[in-house]
Amino acid sequence: MHTQYKKVSESAVTFSELMLPSTSNFNGKVHGGYILSLMDQIAFACGSKHSGTYCVTASVDTVNFLNPIEVGELVTMKACVNYVGNTSMVVGIRVDAENIQTGVVKHCNSSYFTMVARSEAGKSVPVPGLLLTSKNDVRRFTRSLQLKALSKQHKAITKNFKFDIIEAVEQLKDERVKIDLL
């Protein structure tokens, strides 16, 4: 069977949007949920561009909001496929915000979205392989493999979690918690 390969650059997507007051929370900063929505959109565009088909979000890896985004800043998101499996892709996304008056740019967020390619019938379909053409491509692919292994470990721990109230109370004795069971 012949496998098709695509360069990372072939499906990379970048977009920018000016943050308006309608995107802000009560503190005057841009809602994190609004940024997550934009990230999901760019992950979809990048995954669909790579796979040539519709994609759905299967999971979102750790999302850390590193710096707040202010109303009036220009947010730029860059996405590329970091890893491919049989039917899934890990799309790496970087979010930067620029003060358009001063030109100062700050890194606000990075995250990884796992996207799954789907047919019109809703079935998972194979995606092209990834042609790595730079050290950065290799670094991102290798990091995705490491994150995938950590995810498997986390699932195993969660699946085998056993709860014992006596052990739990003992574990919590040094935490900032008060237990008042009725």
Q: Domain limits of the chain?
A: 5-132
Query: What pLDDT is stored for residue 162 in this prediction?
Result: 87
CATH classification (class only), 5-132: alpha beta
pLDDT higher than threshold 80 for residue 1 = no
pTM: 0.89
- pLDDT tens profile 84-132: 999 999 999 999 999 999 999 999 999 999 999 999 999 999 999 999 9
In percent, the amount of the chain with pLDDT more than 90 equals 79
Residue 82's nearest CA partner among 3, 138, 150 is 138
Query: What pLDDT is stored for residue 181 in this prediction?
Result: 86
Query: What pLDDT is stored for residue 161 in this prediction?
Result: 86
SS (H, E, C) 82-101: EEECCCEEEEEEEEEEECCC
